């Protein structure tokens, strides 16, 4: 299993690691282990200024051009500037996207047992010592909120700062000063209904076979009765 950072922006850049950064994602995992959804990433205006990001347009351009260290895995998504108060932000959308590479923001893969697994983990958490690097700046750690809908009922949820919210949904929620790891396994949504159909089909077939066997048995018995000659009792004895 590949270990990746939930926010690739935090993977290797010390400035971003310690800056105020919010990651909000909402995605739906499909039966084939692809995903559709969107993710908004926002960096506080004070910190973005230090990174040379004057606007959401700059943010998107630097990510897509590979100029922002630690943003690997995001540049291939469809990203556009987003409006956020006191922050530089962008929203990235994806449709039927495959997430199976080491530098993807999360990993999703299908198994032979008709299950789909979602895996994600954070990078190194920010600390108060990191915050001190920015002196008197108004510092806030920010954090992650990742809402995921799986294609079928969830079988197991393991990790930290991850919580199942319904039969098919879970949420990852953590601050930048926390770490998280989530391993969630769910049915892929294709197994239960076809299995029920198979069971019903078998029952119907067995009932039909039993009916045919019964009809043939009755017919055979009737034929045997018709073919059996009557027994001649002979003349009645005379007195």
**What pLDDT score does 217 carry?**
79
**What pLDDT score does 55 carry?**
87
3-53 pLDDT tens trace: 333 344 443 344 444 447 788 999 999 999 999 999 998 888 877 777 778
β-pairing verdict for 21-29 and 142-149: parallel
**What pLDDT score does 49 carry?**
75
Asked if 92 contacts 76 with a C-beta cutoff of 8 angstroms, the reply is no
Distance CA 219, CA 210 (A): 14
DSSP 5: B
H/E element, 224? helix 192-227
**What pLDDT score does 11 carry?**
39
Asked if 63 contacts 75 with a C-beta cutoff of 8 angstroms, the reply is yes
**Other Cβ atoms within 10 Å of 61 Cβ, number:** 16
**What pLDDT score does 226 carry?**
59
**Other Cβ atoms within 10 Å of 76 Cβ, number:** 13
**What pLDDT score does 46 carry?**
74
pLDDT under 70 in the chain at which residues? 1-19, 68-73, 75, 123-141, 191-198, 222-239
**What pLDDT score does 73 carry?**
62
Closest CA to 176 of 13, 19, 69: 19
Distance CA 88, CA 19 (A): 12
């Amino acid at each position: 299993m590949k270990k990746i950072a939930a926010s690739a922006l935090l993977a290797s850049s010390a400035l971003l690691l310690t800056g105020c950064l919010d990651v909000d994602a909402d995605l739906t995992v499909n039966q084939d282990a692809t995903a559709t959804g969107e993710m908004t990433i926002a960096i506080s205006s004070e910190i973005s200024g230090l990174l040379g990001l004057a606007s959401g347009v700059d943010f998107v351009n630097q990510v897509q051009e590979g100029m922002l260290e630690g943003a690997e895995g995001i540049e291939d998504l469809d990203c556009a500037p987003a409006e956020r108060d006191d922050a530089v932000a962008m929203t990235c959308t994806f449709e039927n996207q495959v997430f199976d590479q080491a530098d993807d923001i999360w990993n999703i893969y299908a198994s032979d047992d008709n299950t789909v697994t979602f895996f994600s983990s954070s990078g190194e958490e920010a600390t108060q010592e990191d915050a001190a690097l920015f002196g008197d700046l108004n510092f806030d750690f920010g954090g992650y909120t990742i809402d995921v809908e799986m294609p079928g009922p969830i079988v197991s949820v393991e990790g930290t700062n991850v919580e199942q919210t319904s039969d098919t949904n879970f949420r990852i929620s953590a601050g930048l000063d926390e770490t998280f790891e989530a391993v969630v396994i769910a049915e892929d949504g294709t197994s239960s209904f076809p299995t029920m159909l198979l069971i019903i089909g078998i029952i119907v077939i067995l009932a039909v076979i039993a009916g045919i066997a019964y009809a043939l048995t009755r017919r055979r018995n009737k034929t045997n009765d018709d073919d059996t000659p009557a027994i001649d009792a002979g003349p009645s004895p005379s007195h």
